[in-house]
Amino acid sequence: MNRIPGRMPTTPPTLADVAERAGVSRQTVSNAVNNPDLLRADTLMRVQEAISELGYLPNRAARNLRTRSSHLIGLRIQPVQEGTANATMDRFVHSLVETSREAGYHVLLFSGDVGDPLAGYDDLLRSTAVDAFVVTDTYLGNPQATWLDSRRAPFVAFGRPWDNPGATHAWVDVDGAAGCRLATDHLLDKGHERIAWIGWRKDSFIGEDRRSGWHGAMHARGLPTTGLASRVEDTVASGRSAAGVLLDEARPTAFVCASDTLAMGVLHTLHERGLRAGDDVAVVGFDDSQVAQVVRPGLSSVRQPLEEVAVEVVSALEGLLGHPRVAHRGVLLTPTLEVRDSSGPDRR
Amino acid sequence: MNRIPGRMPTTPPTLADVAERAGVSRQTVSNAVNNPDLLRADTLMRVQEAISELGYLPNRAARNLRTRSSHLIGLRIQPVQEGTANATMDRFVHSLVETSREAGYHVLLFSGDVGDPLAGYDDLLRSTAVDAFVVTDTYLGNPQATWLDSRRAPFVAFGRPWDNPGATHAWVDVDGAAGCRLATDHLLDKGHERIAWIGWRKDSFIGEDRRSGWHGAMHARGLPTTGLASRVEDTVASGRSAAGVLLDEARPTAFVCASDTLAMGVLHTLHERGLRAGDDVAVVGFDDSQVAQVVRPGLSSVRQPLEEVAVEVVSALEGLLGHPRVAHRGVLLTPTLEVRDSSGPDRR
DNA sequence: GCGCCGGGATGGATCGATCCAACGACGTAC
DNA sequence: GTACGTCGTTGGATCGATCCATCCCGGCGC
């Protein structure tokens, strides 16, 4: 509605221009924008008219300088992993951008060395370029948290402080164990009893958490797990060979995997052996990637509620940056299960 | 190296702090940062020491206000399309962030209504939040270009001005026709003669461009194309049914598709009919998505050189924003072909 | 009639880096 | 010894929005 037709003037109108046009002082215009209830109704109206006539919008730089805040949120992104099915970032980034916008923030992307988890944060912080960070790459501990804490930098982590349960910063995470329990129960309900696990190496906190979901679900029904688990790297090839070994040695009728990438490896092995995914051996992955959605047969997969994660993250940020500051404890969200053909039919 | 150990002071050091510590004036410090060659060697040294001792970095907001530039580049992102294999954005965004960083820019994400292609641009422009835009969503014409031009807003488009060949703005694009020619020639060289095309509806400029690559390659060898082409929506289901119809009516031995999503549809149909992708019928997709990389059999696919696109885009931006301004004509890059098992064996 | 009160509007100062015009020191030429 | 040019440096003004203390004016009580 406020869009101005025609050419942009050489220099955008300033608050002073609006003040002059409306016949009031600068402060009054500022109040009209930031504290409308301080003005008398008729004055407010007059100022607002001038604002929309000129197409005025506060200059960001000036406002940032004065208020010492940029309304920008820093998010570090890492290279796409080719050859895997990992795709949480894309979905999360979009949700975050959308939710941030509603809260009046924009997202500033920066890139980081894969080696140095702190690279990039420092400069943005010291140059007061962002108000806060969203830290996502916490798969192997979270040195960023400690460091950002020591710099008194506001931030919210997507991922629990695995390596430091006493940490007091705000975080949001998805309950991977619950997701894998969901997947495993789903298969158990279909009548499977020998359900194998293919997950990540032991140094991955997330991997062990997801594994515990499978493990817990099996034990809750008094079923054995010995020899049914494998821990490998997160690649299709690893999933493929792990599935081969498990099929030979443990004869599982179903697989639960820590990622869609690994699940794709399982599908490969099944096909090589002439086994039908779903009908002969059931498979469930994790992340509900595009791959899971378009592959044949459709890959059942645990889906993280990234939209909700973004909402919680932004709400935590608002608490951190608002006045007064509202402490935000950790939030744990529950994923859902997308059932597709790789789950197979009921076996009972 | 400049990273300060320990706690962040409550307020970061300013240029005046550095000046005082080094025993010089503010302007001298500013010169040390922006025009080092104006200072005498010993003065420069002294100032630089003070800078690193204090961990000084120019305040972004103040610099932005004074120089009337934010060193931010706006990029509008759209929701992930679930159920498709489309994944160019993710790779491109990362390349852009990385390349921008080297040029001293950061990337600001904003979201847009799918309906209104102009949403979001206006506010950022009027509030002087970004120096320029990178416009990507130009699949159906590019109203943004005309509009941004009229607002005198600097921008670079990833995508040709299809609907307005006379447009003078800077753009970078990937030669889709060349990519499809590459794919088709690849299959022709393997001995295929009846190669089918599955592409997008006629209103897509990009789709028609890619199609022309297939069409041209076929005609160059004197092969017929009649009845071998299908134009559908970009979904797996459409690709699947289009492949079915073509197999029944035209008996092709190979498919070239406008997207990996459509190619996945072809793979589905082949499997349903007991045909082996690669061995019986060859398939080539477009975009080299994660799906193409992890599916079985591996899907041959045309890969866009997004890293190069980012480099060209940033170089164009530097031209637009630099002094003096350097005009940047359109740049057309050539994609490559990733050959995988779905190409099948040599038939000769 | 005088003084007090309070919502509302006002001009000046401020945030921190950069631009500008002027100034000081030093060396050279006459 | 004085005039002049150059290089490096200096304080003040500036960008635009917001904070602060002040001021204005109508209404009310005594």
Residue A9 has pLDDT above 70, yes or no: no
Q: What is the pLDDT of residues A145-195, one digit of tens each?
A: 888 888 889 999 999 998 888 888 999 999 999 999 999 999 999 999 999
Predicted confidence band of residue B10 (pLDDT cuts 50, 70, 90): low
Residue B303 has pLDDT above 50, yes or no: yes
Q: What is the pLDDT of residues A67-111, one digit of tens each?
A: 999 999 999 998 888 888 887 888 999 999 999 999 999 999 998
Residue % of chain B over a pLDDT of 70: 96
Q: Which residues contact B274 (CB under 8 A, 6 or more apart)?
A: none
A contacts of B128 (beta carbons < 8 Å): 12, 59-61
Query: Is nucleic acid strand C under 7 Å from A40's C-beta?
Result: yes
Give SS3 for B300. strand
Q: What is the pLDDT of residues B149-165, one digit of tens each?
A: 888 899 999 999 988 88
d(CA A315, CA A197): 35
Q: Between residues B79 and B194, which one has the greater pLDDT?
A: B194
Spanning CA of B109 to C1' of C20, the rounded length in angstroms is 37
Note whether A106 contacts B107, CB cutoff 8 Å: no
pLDDT, residue A241, reads: 97
Query: Is nucleic acid strand C under 7 Å from B62's C-beta?
Result: yes
A232: left (phi over 0), alpha (psi -120 to 50) or beta: beta
Residue B1 has pLDDT above 60, yes or no: no
B contacts of A127 (beta carbons < 8 Å): 57-60
pLDDT, residue A4, reads: 39
B39 to each of A231, B29, B46, how far by Cα in Å?
Answer: 60, 9, 11
pLDDT, residue A326, reads: 80
Note whether B77 contacts A59, CB cutoff 8 Å: no
Q: What is the pLDDT of residues A140-150, one digit of tens each?
A: 667 888 888 88
- Whether the CB of B65 is below 8 Å from some CB of chain A: the reply is yes
Show which of residues 176-215 on chain B sit within 8 Å of chain A, judged by CB atoms: none
Note whether B264 contacts A294, CB cutoff 8 Å: yes
Q: Between residues A128 and B328, which one has the greater pLDDT?
A: A128
Q: How far apart are the CA of B312 and the nearest CA of chain A, in angstroms?
A: 19
Predicted confidence band of residue B194 (pLDDT cuts 50, 70, 90): very high
Residue A6 has pLDDT above 50, yes or no: no
pLDDT, residue A1, reads: 35
Residue A163: Cβ-neighbour burial (10 angstroms; 0-12, 13-18, 19+): middle
Residue A313 has pLDDT above 90, yes or no: yes
Handedness of CA A6, A8, A14, A15 (dihedral sign): positive
Residue A113 has pLDDT above 80, yes or no: no
Predicted confidence band of residue A307 (pLDDT cuts 50, 70, 90): very high
Q: How far apart are the CA of A10 and the nearest CA of chain B, in angstroms?
A: 8
Residue % of chain A over a pLDDT of 70: 96
Nucleotide nearest to B47 (CA to C1'): D9
Rg (alpha carbons) of chain A, rounded to whole number: 26
Q: How far apart are the CA of A90 and the nearest CA of chain B, in angstroms?
A: 6
Catalogue all structural domains in chain B, each as residue range(s) with its CATH number.
15-58 (1.10.260.40), 72-174+306-334 (3.40.50.2300), 176-304+337-343 (3.40.50.2300)
A contacts of B132 (beta carbons < 8 Å): none
Show which of residues 274-333 on chain B sit within 8 Å of chain A, judged by CB atoms: 289-291, 293-296
B contacts of A15 (beta carbons < 8 Å): none
A54 to each of A1, A8, A18, A235, B122, how far by Cα in Å?
Answer: 13, 11, 7, 57, 14
Report the mean per-residue pLDDT for chain A. 91
Under a CB-based contact definition with an 8 Å cutoff, are residues B193 and B223 in contact? Answer: yes
Q: What is the pLDDT of residues A228-271, one digit of tens each?
A: 999 999 999 999 999 999 999 999 999 999 999 999 999 999 99
Q: What is the pLDDT of residues B223-253, one digit of tens each?
A: 999 999 999 999 999 999 999 999 999 999 9
Secondary structure of A52-72 as H, E, C letters: HHHCCCCCHHHHHHHHCCCCE
Q: Which of A90-104, B292-306, B312-326 has the lowest mean pLDDT?
A: B312-326
Q: What is the pLDDT of residues B101-125, one digit of tens each?
A: 999 999 999 987 777 778 789 889 9
pLDDT, residue B90, reads: 87
Note whether A294 contacts B296, CB cutoff 8 Å: no
